[in-house]
Homo-oligomer: A and B are copies of this chain.
Amino acid sequence: VGKEVGRVAKGPTVYDVAERAGVSIATVSFTFRQPTKVRESTRELVKAAARELGYIPSANARGLAGGRTGALGLLSLAHRPAGRDWSSDGALDPDDNCRSFPLYVDEVQRGVEAECWRHGYAVMVAGSDTSNSDVVLTDIAGRVDGLAIFSGTIDEAELHRVAARLPVVVLSESRPDDDVSRVSVDNAGGMRALIDHLVGTHGSHDLQFVGSVHDADRSARFKAFRAALRSAGLPVPRQPLATAADHQALVADLVSRNALPDALVCVTDEVALAVIDALQDAKVDVPGQVAVTGFDGLVAGRLVSPQLTTVRQPMAAMGAMVVRVLIDRIEHPDKPARSQLFPVQLTVRESCGCPPARFR
């Protein structure tokens, strides 16, 4: 007992299987890849030999020889804002509030995975950290047949370098690109609906936008925010508040200057959640003294009190679409890049001042 424990063999190859079955390696390969080209009896022979030997085909060798890997990649975000360190014991938060999972990227990832599996692709997920993004990008790009990338993960130059080598789909508002497909949502429409609600239903007239607008989607939201205010005849902020992530400071400043607006329209749910925290720490009533809204539709938005009014994105559906576009481009390399736009849904809950909804 325990003698061979932990031993990991090198593993049998096609040669071993071929020898055992008394056939050539080509026949072994055909048995698995093009079964019709092999007589049934031979096929069974080979399969039996493979089973007895515990044969597991090397995907690397197959990929190298065949020119494709059969896997799709997703470049996600490694760094999570409220992330904890799992390397220690399994201690649980006494009151885990799922602020860091699932986020936008996780919900999209789920859609990507489901759709890949439906199509028989494996999914390779890599996490980039802005610091090492190009290394990670290159690494994963070398492993897959097509790659999905979140907006803001990497810079445009890198993006195009990779897109020249394999199909790439970016999750962001479309831009005048020729070689990159994009999947995104109607940021402008969602923002418009949100502002209409705030202004029309709650009579807000002093609204501010919170959060940095460093990528296409975010700036589209800010732009739509301004446009909506303009057409409502309300004052239009030139800049978003708190481009940095220090929401405590933002709130402290607003309170001390007695400059709290009617509504704080946040660029994402994550920002909104943090802002609500800061507000409540400062004893400001939400939505009594100030309405706060988000954008995305994270699960966490329903776990807080007040529940977050937001604009929901069909994240899983977007992930699935990304995969379909990718596969389409893999199978038809000559087709032009294709971009898809999804609708969003204004979801009114408590943080704008509406009464609590019921659900179970």
Which A residues fall within an 8 A CB radius of B? 1-2, 4-9, 11, 54, 56-64, 69-71, 76, 78, 80, 83-84, 86-92, 95-98, 101-102, 106-107, 110-111, 113-115, 117-118, 122-127, 129, 138-143, 161-162, 164-167, 178-179, 185, 277, 280, 297, 299, 302-305, 312-314, 316-321, 324, 329, 333-337, 342-343, 345, 357, 359-360
- Assembly of this chain: how many copies? 2
Asked if residues B329 and A167 are in contact (CB atoms below 8 Å), the reply is: no
Asked if residues B140 and A122 are in contact (CB atoms below 8 Å), the reply is: yes
Q: How many angstroms from the CA of A70 to the CA of B305 in the assembled complex?
A: 44
Q: How many angstroms from the CA of A62 to the CA of B141 in the assembled complex?
A: 13
6 closest cross-chain pairs (CB), A and B:
A90-B314, A60-B63, A86-B320, A59-B143, A117-B127, A90-B342
Q: How many angstroms from the CA of A7 to the CA of B8 in the assembled complex?
A: 43
Contact among B92, B303, B329, B334 for A312, CB-based, below 8 A: B92
Q: How many angstroms from the CA of A56 to the CA of B143 in the assembled complex?
A: 10
Looking at the assembled complex, report how far the CB atom of A62 sits from the nearest CB atom of chain B, in whole angstroms.
8
Asked if residues A125 and B125 are in contact (CB atoms below 8 Å), the reply is: yes
Decide if the interface of chain A is mainly helix, strand, loop or mixed: loop
Looking at the assembled complex, report how far the CB atom of A139 sits from the nearest CB atom of chain B, in whole angstroms.
7
Specify which chain B residues have a CB less than 8 angstroms from the CB of A84 in the assembled complex: 316
Q: How many angstroms from the CA of A360 to the CA of B96 in the assembled complex?
A: 10
Specify which chain B residues have a CB less than 8 angstroms from the CB of A88 in the assembled complex: 317
Specify which chain B residues have a CB less than 8 angstroms from the CB of A64 in the assembled complex: 58, 60-61, 64
